[in-house]
Structure 1
Amino acid sequence: MGDRIGERGSSRGVIWLSPGLLGGGAGAEIASSIREAPPSDSLFLLGSKALTRSAISTKELIGELLYADHVFLVGPISVLNNLTLVPLTGRNLDLRILPFLSATAPKGLFPPEPEHYRGPKLKVAIIGAGLAGMSTAVELLDQGHEVDLYDSRTFIGGKVGSFVDKQGNHIEMGLHVFFGCYSNLFRLMKKVGADNNLLVKEHTHTFVNKGGIVGELDFRFPVGAPLHGIQAFLRTNQLKVYDKARNAIALALSPVVRALLDPDGALQQVRDLDDVSFTDWFMSRGGTRESITRMWDPVAYALGFIDCDNISARCMLTIFTLFATKTEASLLRMLKGSPDVYLSGPIKKYITDRGGRFHLRWGCREVLYDKSPDGETYVKGFLVSKATSSEIIKADAYVAACDVPGIKRLLPSEWREWDMFDNIYKLDGVPVVTVQLRYNGWVTEVQDLEKSRQLQKAVGLDNLLYTPDADFSCFSDLALSSPADYYIEGQGSLIQAVLTPGDPYMPLPNEEIISKVEKQVLDLFPSARGLEVTWSSVVKIGQSLYREAPGNDPFRPDQKTPVKNFFLSGSYTKQDYIDSMEGATLSGRRTAAYICGAGEELLAIRKKLVVDHSEKASGKVQMLQTS
């Protein structure tokens, strides 16, 4: 049984130390650091062993849980994913996590839960019903505010959105994969009841090379981070022995090693590498061009839609740091089906159930603003329109949850006098083309030709797939990986491929794009020759993710702006993750925190604007009477 550390004062702090997790005086050190703050009637558990009841007896654990109203878990965040104490106690408990050592997430990547808001209730208007806008809305509604979201599209979700065409096909804006380090997004999905909508894939990263040759980074290993990652890179068949050795040297000389003991320090070191490309950094540490071409370019294209020569080392090393320190970070998940049903849908329901409102097909045409007598700039409203109708939306806080081209169009040109706004115009988005191809057989079934021709059962590679040998860096057979909406009885594979960079394909007609992609699919899977494409779609986005090129990170704006009642949200804004679904969700949390932190000030601004408006109206009346 673990050591038990006694109580102090009125705080009933009980700490169970799992002997297999820590040794020496580590338990006492943790106890002294956390016993001061937690409330009375608290139970502390260290690591997962106590919770799986191998460190203490079931009877003793249940006895302690029956008395505890608050349970603090010291250990890895991943333990919480499937943890419930209700079967042991018959009741819900306040369960919180206190990370420890390598289990600690950098604070910038996973902020603590917000304190209960006690300020005035605010009315908030959000332009953009993408993931960042909805994340902001959820956080604000949880704190009791009133929220309206406006979007010019007919569907929600932004770049993570999807819609159904006239034939009933689900069309996505892109291929959406959920890395295991998407802690903020998983938190949001759990909050809205969508966490069961993710399908966990095999813990491998699969590379499909020309001729159907499959390479892997196989993270499946009895021991977790960092050993599971080390063996995956040493054993991969995607690289030759020499390249693997040089690859190992480069990673050993990276901030990844420091992250094992000092995640926040490592993250700062990663930030400092923003002005160098990943290729320059990697090869200066001994990495090879072959490693870049065969492994890292496909990964870079999948993450940021640009290659290693053009992507910041900060972007790539952020991911590597998480992969090295979190066993589950490299474990991929995909939605059961379309984003509109399994991601945006539950978030929308959560928002509307709490009084939030969506206004679709209402686009913002202008940010109305004025200056007070003391020289401060304030937003007076959003001018929104739908078809031939227009309205001026009034609120206490105004949020622009746009992508890069959207925020450039929305910002008043006069605001470029502030460096923060002017820097946004130094960012640009990367074009991307997403292609869907439906076949009359199973394209990725490379082992059994007969199985690939039958249509009674879905077969093939069920995961995200990378390739260095096609214009699409990553792809997946959605009929296998997201079957709820994409598997159709009597039909075969639905290959969804992301063409990056999309520049060469943007001016081409859809028929030519489909022809080129179909040919490249057959180059990767010669066994699929003879299968026919029965349906296809093409979605072009002129500017998708912002271009995470070297030196661009300082141009990303904070969510709090020089205009005190105007805020930004979006994956391109300042946050420690990359431009992604996780980055969008994290930005929404940060935006909501800024708004809640400024509650009293925003109320004062509202009153001031009312007074100013009344005085101006009174002045106009007096002028008319005088005349």
Structure 2
Amino acid sequence: MKGFWYTYSNIFKLVEEELGITDAFTPYTKSGFWSPTKGLVTESPVFSELPRLPTLLGQFVHTVDLFRGVPLPDRASMLPLFPALLEYKATPETYKRYDQMTFRELCRQCGVSNTLYEEFMKPLLLVGLFAPPEELSAGVVLEMLYYYALAHQNDFDVKWARGSVSETIFQPLMAQMREQGCEILGGHPMTGLEMDGGRVKSVSAYDIDGKREVSFEADHVVLCMGVTGMQKLVQGCAELGRRREFRNVMHLRGIDVMSVRVWFDKKGSTQFPSNVLSGFEPNVGGTFFNLNELHDEYKDCEGSVIAADFYHAGSLLPLSDEAVAHKVAEFVRTCEPSFEGAKVTDFAVLRFPKAVTHFTPGSYPFRPLQTTSIHNLFVAGDWVKGLPHGSQALCQERAYVAGLRAANLVIQDSGVGREAEILDVEPDEPHIAAGKYAARLLREGADTLGIRSPFLFP
């Protein structure tokens, strides 16, 4: 299941204005965070329905009574992280230091309590960046926390497509592209490039049957793929493999993901349509969704339809589909007693090995820029670095914006076409902007004097 967050202004503009689809999404929904031992740990309200307060204050006021499994003193132990949120991008060298340490180590230095870490922050990161904090760059985690939860009160609000994203959004988008003269050729994996004077002349790929190579002349090329796809391409394409900027991606890693759908013989109720699972499988992130509430096609079903996603899911991949489906049923019954006695009637399990970017400590230098040493070849995806936009981390909005910017780079190079408008995120609130400015001055002064950090962080 793909969430569409309050900050996804460019995606909402595409769907609602450019495609003219006004009913693609649900309203913003509340979410529950569940533990197998403590039950409901906390819930996330719809912040945009509540009085808007200055950021940080608003999040605190509107959730103070919602944390059932994390006492207030434990939540307060997060406060020493806030100076890091202000300074982690103060200078390039500052970000490098944060990127090289794990978020777990940053939490230790800041005195974050074990209860807050285990019951809230770890499960949040397992579903937000798809890995446990001890395996994540502190710099990327701070980016994610700021973008999704802390920059503005409403930023944590999320809505969902009312059906599959493919049918709801991508099929209408592809139809519009074809109407405008675009030819879409699926099933043609790229195998190589033919160069002419520092520019790509043509792209080679397998045909639809995968039996022979075909060549496509190219004025410009945009590589829109994830880490694993790029690594396979670099290994198979000599022209890319001889260039350091592309070989660098071989240092990056992917994360295993699993998507499950389970049908039950009777309908059970859920407190929340979207839910996060904490500690149900060691070091595995989990979510489950009540599709009877979220997808129009299931609203009138006699039985419940539950979708579940698992991240950092390598330990689940070897299990049979039936075993995975029954795990999902067990997890749902633990959270929602109304599913007791409901029998699984059908299920579907999809496995995606190494499918999403793993932002490991020290990975930033190996991520690609959008521009490359090949003048008419560009890169798009949420894992590129140097994107001049406020969207951060694993993010559909960032991936889409990177695609728009790649198209604009093509237009700038060719002199043909009209550049796409890219909406930026809402500006920092005044108190946050002032804090960042002060943090930058302190960091620059500390670096000049050779002081490690004014906040005693990395």
TM-score by length of 1: 0.59
- What is the CA distance between 1:307 and its match in structure 2? 0.9
Instruction: Specify which of 304, 308, 316 is matched with residue 505 of structure 1.
Output: 316
Rounded to whole Å, the distance in 2 between the matches of 1:181 and 1:274 is 24
Instruction: Specify which of 562, 583, 590 is matched with residue 373 of structure 2.
Output: 562
Match of 1:238 in 2: 69
Q: Classify 1:327/1:232 alpha carbon distance in 2 versus 1 (closer, same or farther; 3 Å).
A: same
Contact 1:367–1:382 (8 Å) recurs in 2: yes
Instruction: Specify which of 441, 446, 463 is matched with residue 266 of structure 2.
Output: 441
Match of 1:201 in 2: 28
Rounded to whole Å, the distance in 2 between the matches of 1:268 and 1:295 is 30
Per-residue CA distance 1:256-287 (angstroms, 9 max, x = gap): 5x79xxxx859996676222222211231221
Contact 1:201–1:463 (8 Å) recurs in 2: no
Rounded to whole Å, the distance in 1 between the matches of 2:135 and 2:410 is 35
Q: Secondary structure at the match of 2:251?
A: coil
Match of 1:16 in 2: none
**Count of aligned pairs between the two proteins:** 401
2:85 is the alignment partner of 1:255: yes
- What is the CA distance between 1:222 and its match in structure 2? 1.6
Match of 2:359 in 1: 548
Match of 2:188 in 1: 362
Code of the residue aligned with 2:4 in structure 1: it is F
Rounded to whole Å, the distance in 2 between the matches of 1:195 and 1:421 is 41
Q: Classify 1:193/1:550 alpha carbon distance in 2 versus 1 (closer, same or farther; 3 Å).
A: farther
Per-residue CA distance 1:494-553 (angstroms, 9 max, x = gap): 221122221112222222222333323323334422111111010000111110111112
Contact 1:311–1:550 (8 Å) recurs in 2: yes
Match of 1:404 in 2: 227
- What is the CA distance between 1:333 and its match in structure 2? 0.5
Q: Classify 1:266/1:525 alpha carbon distance in 2 versus 1 (closer, same or farther; 3 Å).
A: farther
Structure with higher RCO (Cα < 8 A, 6+ apart) = 2
Rounded to whole Å, the distance in 2 between the matches of 1:534 and 1:433 is 20
Per-residue CA distance 1:21-71 (angstroms, 9 max, x = gap): xxxxxxxxxxxxxxxxxxxxxxxxxxxxxxxxxxxxxxxxxxxxxxxxxxx
Rounded to whole Å, the distance in 2 between the matches of 1:593 and 1:200 is 32
- What is the CA distance between 1:318 and its match in structure 2? 1.8
Match of 1:276 in 2: 101
Rounded to whole Å, the distance in 2 between the matches of 1:268 and 1:599 is 35
Rounded to whole Å, the distance in 2 between the matches of 1:534 and 1:429 is 33
1:547-626 equivalent positions in 2, closer than 5 A: 547-574=358-385, 575=387, 577-599=392-414
Instruction: Specify which of 18, 40, 43 is matched with residue 216 of structure 1.
Output: 43
1:114-129 equivalent positions in 2, closer than 5 A: none
- What is the CA distance between 1:585 and its match in structure 2? 0.6
Match of 1:307 in 2: 132
Q: Classify 1:361/1:486 alpha carbon distance in 2 versus 1 (closer, same or farther; 3 Å).
A: farther
Contact 2:192–2:239 (8 Å) recurs in 1: no
Match of 2:277 in 1: 467
| Identical aligned residues as a percent | 18
Q: Secondary structure at the match of 1:287?
A: coil
Q: Classify 1:224/1:347 alpha carbon distance in 2 versus 1 (closer, same or farther; 3 Å).
A: farther
Match of 1:384 in 2: 206
Contact 1:212–1:525 (8 Å) recurs in 2: no
Code of the residue aligned with 1:324 in structure 2: it is L
- What is the CA distance between 1:355 and its match in structure 2? 1.5
Q: Classify 1:300/1:185 alpha carbon distance in 2 versus 1 (closer, same or farther; 3 Å).
A: same
2:159 is the alignment partner of 1:330: no
Rounded to whole Å, the distance in 1 between the matches of 2:267 and 2:326 is 18
Instruction: Specify which of 525, 530, 533 is matched with residue 341 of structure 2.
Output: 530
Rounded to whole Å, the distance in 1 between the matches of 2:144 and 2:273 is 19
Per-residue CA distance 1:118-145 (angstroms, 9 max, x = gap): xxxxxxxxxxxxxxxxxxxxxxxxxxxx
Per-residue CA distance 1:470-511 (angstroms, 9 max, x = gap): 23634233424422233343222x221122221112222222
Match of 1:519 in 2: 330
Code of the residue aligned with 2:347 in structure 1: it is S
Instruction: Specify which of 416, 420, 425 is matched with residue 250 of structure 2.
Output: 425
Q: Which has the larger radius of gyration?
A: 1
Q: Which runs of 5+ in 1 are unaligned?
A: 1-174, 446-459, 602-627
Q: Classify 1:473/1:383 alpha carbon distance in 2 versus 1 (closer, same or farther; 3 Å).
A: closer
Greater shift in the superposed pair: 295-304 or 204-213: 204-213
- What is the CA distance between 1:326 and its match in structure 2? 2.3
TM-score by length of 2: 0.80
Contact 2:220–2:410 (8 Å) recurs in 1: yes
Match of 2:178 in 1: 352
Q: Which runs of 5+ in 2 are unaligned?
A: 417-458
Instruction: Specify which of 122, 140, 143 is matched with residue 297 of structure 1.
Output: 122
Rounded to whole Å, the distance in 1 between the matches of 2:22 and 2:38 is 34
Q: Secondary structure at the match of 2:134?
A: coil
Q: Classify 1:582/1:487 alpha carbon distance in 2 versus 1 (closer, same or farther; 3 Å).
A: same
Q: Classify 1:338/1:440 alpha carbon distance in 2 versus 1 (closer, same or farther; 3 Å).
A: same
Root-mean-square deviation (CA, aligned residues, Å) is 2.8
